[in-house]
Amino acid sequence: MATQPKSTKEVREQLKKEDGINQLYTYCETIFGLVDKIHMQIKSREVIDGEITDEKLDKLVGYRGFLNPIFEAFEAEMDGNSNVYYVNKKHAIETKGEKFVSASVDKESSLSVQNLRVLRNQLRGYIDQIGIDIMVLMGKQKYYVEREKRGN
């Protein structure tokens, strides 16, 4: 397996490789599992201590930082691939002297990037959830600081 990508540029390079999407998805699945674990701890109120809250916040910020470049690369790749498909299809139809119908080619170009769209949407969902979890933990962190100031 290739090394873990560290930037949007590295992610885009990975996407160009034959098995790049699957490798990126494998990296993401690992992070998804870790995010799910923290989310369930928050949901079940296992995160009850200021020190634990700090640790979880640091992890979530790191996970978000890891997933964001992948999301951005998937978004760019998806848009680029869709546009290339559309232009190539339009050119092929017009070269044959046939009537070009934009709506049908729009649909085809959208379907041509379906696999990227599914992964991008899953990434977006996790990035959004991480943002919510960060806000919840920051609220808990503020509570612990205030409680400590009061001496309770």
- Categorize the per-residue pLDDT at 152 as very low, low, confident or very high, splitting at 50, 70 and 90: low
Nearest CA to 130 among 66, 69, 75, 63? 63
pLDDT band at 144 (very low <50, low <70, confident <90, very high): confident
Percent of the chain with pLDDT over 90: 22
Q: Cα–Cα distance between 26 and 73 in angstroms, integer?
A: 16
Q: Which two tokens stand for residue 89?
A: 């299809």
User: Six-digit token pair at 116?
Assistant: 């990227």
pTM over 0.95? The answer is no
CA gap 51, 61 in Å, rounded: 16
Condensed to tens digits (0 to 9), the pLDDT of residues 117-132 reads 888 899 999 999 999 9
DSSP string covering 102-115, please?
HHHHHHHHHHTTHH
> What is the per-residue pLDDT for 63?
93
Asked if residues 68 and 134 have their Cβ atoms less than 8 Å apart, the reply is no
pLDDT digits (tens, 9 = 90+) for 15-57: 778 787 778 888 889 999 999 999 998 888 776 666 678 889 9
Domain ranges of the chain: 8-147
Assess contact for 74 and 119: CB atoms under 8 A. yes
Query: How do residues 55-88 score in pLDDT, each as one tens digit?
Result: 899 999 999 988 988 888 888 888 888 888 889 8
pLDDT at position 140, please? Answer: 84
